[in-house]
Amino acid sequence: MTQRVGKIGFLINPIAGMGGAVGLKGTDGLAGQALARGAKPQAPERAMACLHLLSREADGLLFLAASGEMGGRALSECDLHYQVVYDVPQDSSSQDTKAACHAFLEKGVDLILFCGGDGTARDVAGSVGKLPILGIPAGVKMHSGVFAISPQAAAQLALGFMRGELKARETEIVDVDEELYRAGELQTRLYAVACTPYQPVLVQERKRIYVSGNEEEFKDQIALFASEFMRDGSAYILGAGTTTARIAELLQVEKTLLGVDVVQNGKLIQKDASEKDLLALLDREKSVKIIVSPIGAQGFILGRGSQQISAAVLRNVGEENLIIVSTPHKLAELRQLLVDTGDELMDKILAKKRLVVTGYRIAQRKETVAASALHDI
Amino acid sequence: MKIKYLLDEEEIPKKWYNVAADMPTPLDPPLHPGTLKPLSASDMEMIFPKALIQQEMSTQRWIDIPEEVRDIYRLWRPTPLYRAAGLEKALQTPAKIYYKYEGVSPAGSHKPNTAVPQAYYNMKEGIERLATETGAGQWGSALSLATCLFGLQCTVYMVRSSFDSKPYRKSAMRVWGADCFASPSDKTNFGRKILAETPDTPGSLGIAISEAVEDAASHDNTNYALGSVLNHVLIHQSIEGLELKKQFDLADDYPDVMFGCCGGGSNFPGMVFPFIPDKMKDKKDLRMVACEPSACPTLTKGPFAYDFGDTAGMAPVIKMYTLGHDFIPPGIHAGGLRYHGDAPLLCNLVHDGLIEATALQQTEAFEAGTLFARTEGIIPAPEASHAIKPAIDEARRCKQTGEAKTIFISLSGHGHFDLAAYDAYNDGKLVDYEYPADLVKQSLAKLPKV
């Protein structure tokens, strides 16, 4: 009797996530610009983090892949059993993602495991109908529900699904219009419905933007409190999101909704800062603090949406100067806050019960967890 | 084991005790909110009767309780002192735990101890109506009861969120003949202004105070009444501690440590102030601990400074521990503990080190309240549960050390109007708040500079 062989279609969007650290809020059509700004490819490394875990229990798994940097190379480095079913030309594009997915579909794969961001998820989902897909998070924007919360969690979900222990559920593929996104307007659009392996906690909820009169009041309260404690002369790095935007609004400074800005003594001193800008700021300023809020229903405070606030920036600022703000509504829906700075040691330092400002002189404590640690749960 | 220590009606004290006579440091004067000059008696006459103003400014140690007031006190006083035998057994502690239960009053809490004399003095000076505010509803019910017994009218401005969430509190007020309005209301200029700006506001205690004060100031036949913070309120509440001393004599015991919940200050100071002279003389080891919520930790985290007594800045400016008059504490279920400041008399004694304070989360308070209900029977008010939890901790420490300490809990009221909050606790829906003290320190430039 031969063991049934499970087939996983595997692909990497090699340029995914490069725009984040250099302040581009997405890499679609901007890979060249991102490289010019000094961005380094991140997707292959994150894909390998997942594949290494998979390789320990890969008996009976066959990977069908796109060639070279779009998948084959990483699989080969991890000693996984694979076949190339799509040859990628010199300069890969989103067309190759779609073409590879068609090839996977023809070969009858059970699951497509891809590494990228929302743009990649759109391309994959648009090509495969109801075939289950699962994302290894590596993009700048990951609002879609098909992403595991970390590469390690993706490995666990993929294995669970292939062994028949986990079922798939329908989830939405959403993306932000990158043109509007760069202009500071958050417009998530529903692009497709996809199936994805599901285990509570390990898959990102589709990012939600909450609108309720009551919650707006709490944003105002948070902003008022922040405007008071921000009078201490420190430079404040304001992360992405609508709660931090409200603080800027009250201070009457222009906020990059999905970027990182720096405010000092009520004045904007750096708009849409990159990681490099922040490190330069830290060189010249004595007291720097960071204000971030959890992103939508995911609960990520670092590592999604505000990659400019990197592990290096955090090390310099000091975790005691990280201020988290959130409306109580948003906090109530989160089991925990998540961090994924890409630096295990920094994630460990950040992971504890952290104070979260939820109103005017009001706070709660919330467990903060390294996303990479969650696959053990 | 004897469980109840009861006094006869004739043993209801004939005088209240005024701790101002024994303060190591005298109080700094309250200031006029407009001029920031010391407040004069005539400033207060617009909203308070002369007899209460005299008490407010008095440093006389003993103040006579009018017979008419004692007659009404007879309805529920003296209140019982219990030995918490069931709780002791459950904790397997060598400590002796006592509690004095004020929930036997018709309104279910200690609040009538001052509502009754306040209504009496106003009646004596020809006032026909009292206006007041209420947050959780305990004070509003107590004043409704007291005015009803002296034939006065009563108008209660109840914070809208409580008005909607605690419907039976207002039903009780109605039975006692009071008018209870959701605040902000259309009855006052201030209420109408707030309603025009924010029609959906849940209201706040600060807004309700401003409405009641405006009502009193704009009607000749109407005065204002306050259920905590002020010196005369604490004088009236001393009746609790005076009875308690006699009851400990009956039990041939004396407390090592006393716990009481503390919002603005009325039940806790009332219970412990009569013990202050002992502490200053031969009972130096006696500990008196004010228990407050972590969400509103006035005594444990606030600076000792002059601040306004209300949100709108209309009430006198007083020296106290304060979280800032513009702080509206989060909606914890112990509504009676949500006040940004504390009684000046109490604050002075904390500042002088005679009284301690501790803060705790509401979830741990409800957990303790549930254990108390299951061992002693009485379902405590969430406020009172804030005193039970540290007392349980103390009894557990005694188990470790083998000490047979005498621990006292001030049980300010029952929780029969708070069962929805117990449901929330049992459903795991309570949120624990914390006061971001370091960030607030950074931002506390808002207190009026005096």
Q: Does residue B250 sit at the A interface (CB-CB below 8 Å)?
A: no
Q: Is B293 helix (H, G, I), strand (E, B) or coil?
A: strand
d(CA B228, nearest CA chain A) in Å: 23
| CB-count exposure of residue A212 (10 Å: 0-12, 13-18, 19+) | exposed
For domain A6-197, the question of CATH label 3.40.50 is answered with yes
What residues of chain B lie within 8 A of the CB of A321, using their CB?
none
Give the pLDDT mean for B371-388.
Answer: 97
Q: Look up residue A182 and give its two tokens.
A: 């760069």
A210 — pLDDT class (breaks 50, 70, 90): very low
End-to-end alpha carbon distance in chain B: 56
pLDDT, residue A118, reads: 87
A211 — pLDDT class (breaks 50, 70, 90): very low
Which pLDDT tens digit goes with each residue over A361-373?
889 999 999 987 7
Nearest to A364 among B326, B433, B439 (CB): B433
| CB spacing of B439 vs A328 below 8 angstroms | no
Of A207-216, A233-242, B239-248, the range with the highest mean pLDDT is B239-248
d(CA A211, nearest CA chain B) in Å: 16
Chain A residue closest in CA terms to B443 = A229
Pairing of strands B96-101, B406-411: parallel
pLDDT, residue A305, reads: 63
What residues of chain A lie within 8 A of the CB of B440, using their CB?
229, 361
Q: Which residue has the tokens 């013990």?
A: B275
What residues of chain B lie within 8 A of the CB of A358, using their CB?
330, 433
Share of chain B above pLDDT 90, in %: 78
A175 — pLDDT class (breaks 50, 70, 90): confident
pLDDT, residue A1, reads: 41
Nearest to B435 among A328, A332, A361 (CB): A361
Q: Which residues pair with B356 in a beta bridge?
A: B289
Could you state, in order of their start, the residue ranges of all structural domains in chain A?
A: 6-197, 213-376
Q: Look up residue B188 and give its two tokens.
A: 């006052």
What residues of chain A lie within 8 A of the CB of B294, using their CB?
none
pLDDT, residue A5, reads: 66
Of A24-33, A237-246, B37-46, B79-88, the range with the highest mean pLDDT is B79-88
Q: Which residue has the tokens 């506390």?
A: B444
Please check the confidence at residue A213 and state whether its pLDDT lies above 50: no
Number of A/B CB contacts below 8 angstroms equals 52
Please check the confidence at residue A294 and state whether its pLDDT lies above 80: yes
Chain B residue closest in CA terms to A358 = B433
A187 — pLDDT class (breaks 50, 70, 90): low
Model ipTM? 0.73
The residue among A205, A56, A46 whose CA lies nearest residue A140 is A46
Q: What is the C-alpha to C-alpha distance for residues B347 and B19, in angstroms, rounded to an integer? A: 12
Chain B residue closest in CA terms to A229 = B443
Residue of B197, B307, B434, B446 best to disrupt the A interface, most CBs of A under 10 A: B434
Residues 316-335 of B with CB under 8 A from A: 323-324, 326-330
Chain B residue closest in CA terms to A218 = B330
| CB spacing of B436 vs A363 below 8 angstroms | yes
Q: Does residue B433 sit at the A interface (CB-CB below 8 Å)?
A: yes
What residues of chain B lie within 8 A of the CB of A289, using their CB?
none
Please answer whether residues B241 and B390 qualify as being in contact, where contact means their C-beta atoms are separated by less than 8 angstroms. Answer: no
Least confident of A357-366, B76-85, B245-254: A357-366
DSSP string, B416-448: TT-HHHHHHHHTT-PPPEE--HHHHHHH---SP
Give the pLDDT mean for A52-67.
Answer: 91
| CB spacing of B434 vs A359 below 8 angstroms | no
Chain B residue closest in CA terms to A357 = B436
Side-chain half-sphere CA neighbours of A161 within 13 A: 29
Give the pLDDT mean for B108-133.
Answer: 97
| CB spacing of A332 vs B431 below 8 angstroms | yes
Query: What phi and psi, each to the nearest 5 degrees, are found at residue A114?
Result: -130, 160
pLDDT, residue B151, reads: 97
Q: Which residue has the tokens 């009851």?
A: B247
What residues of chain B lie within 8 A of the CB of A228, using their CB?
442-443, 445-446
What residues of chain B lie within 8 A of the CB of A225, using their CB?
439, 443
**Which of the pair, A306 or B75, is modelled with greater confidence?**
B75
pLDDT, residue B161, reads: 79
What residues of chain A lie within 8 A of the CB of B432, using their CB?
364-365
| CB spacing of A228 vs B443 below 8 angstroms | yes
Q: What is the C-alpha to C-alpha distance for residues A362 and A270, in angstroms, rounded to an integer? A: 29
Which pLDDT tens digit goes with each residue over B305-319?
999 887 777 788 999
What residues of chain B lie within 8 A of the CB of A333, using their CB?
none
Give the pLDDT mean for B4-25.
Answer: 97
Which pLDDT tens digit goes with each residue over A76-97?
999 999 999 999 988 888 899 9
Q: Is B356 helix (H, G, I), strand (E, B) or coil?
A: strand
| CB spacing of B436 vs A362 below 8 angstroms | yes
Show the domains of chain B with their CATH numbers: 4-8+66-108+231-443 (3.40.50.1100), 112-226 (3.40.50.1100)
The residue among A311, A266, A318 whose CA lies nearest residue A290 is A318
| CB spacing of B439 vs A332 below 8 angstroms | no
Which pLDDT tens digit goes with each residue over B273-305?
999 999 999 999 999 999 999 999 999 999 999
Reduced DSSP (H G I as helix, E B as strand, rest coil) percent helix, strand, coil of chain B, to 5: 45, 20, 40
pLDDT, residue B37, reads: 92
**Which of the pair, A210 or A300, is modelled with greater confidence?**
A300
pLDDT, residue B443, reads: 78
Chain A residue closest in CA terms to B446 = A228
Least confident of B3-7, B91-95, B241-245, B431-435: B431-435
DSSP string, A246-315: HHHHHHT----TTS-EEEETTEEEESS--HHHHHHHHHH-S-EEEEE--BGGGTEEESSS-TTS-HHHHH
Q: Is A359 helix (H, G, I), strand (E, B) or coil?
A: strand
pLDDT, residue A169, reads: 80
**Which of the pair, A127 or A173, is modelled with greater confidence?**
A127
The residue among B130, B190, B189 whose CA lies nearest residue B311 is B190
Q: What is the C-alpha to C-alpha distance for residues B69 and A184, in angstroms, rounded to an integer? A: 68
Please check the confidence at residue B143 and state whether its pLDDT lies above 70: yes
Chain A residue closest in CA terms to B201 = A214
Pairing of strands B96-101, B15-17: unpaired
pLDDT, residue A216, reads: 76
Chain B residue closest in CA terms to A224 = B443
Q: In the predicted model, what is the mean pLDDT of chain A?
A: 85
Which pLDDT tens digit goes with each residue over B184-196?
999 999 999 989 9
Nearest to A357 among B323, B328, B436 (CB): B436
Chain B residue closest in CA terms to A227 = B443
Q: What is the C-alpha to C-alpha distance for residues B189 and A359, in angstroms, rounded to an integer? A: 28
Cβ burial B323-337 (10 Å sphere, 16+ → b, else e):
bbbbbbbbbbbbbbb
B396 — pLDDT class (breaks 50, 70, 90): very high
Please answer whether residues B111 and B417 qualify as being in contact, where contact means their C-beta atoms are separated by less than 8 angstroms. Answer: no
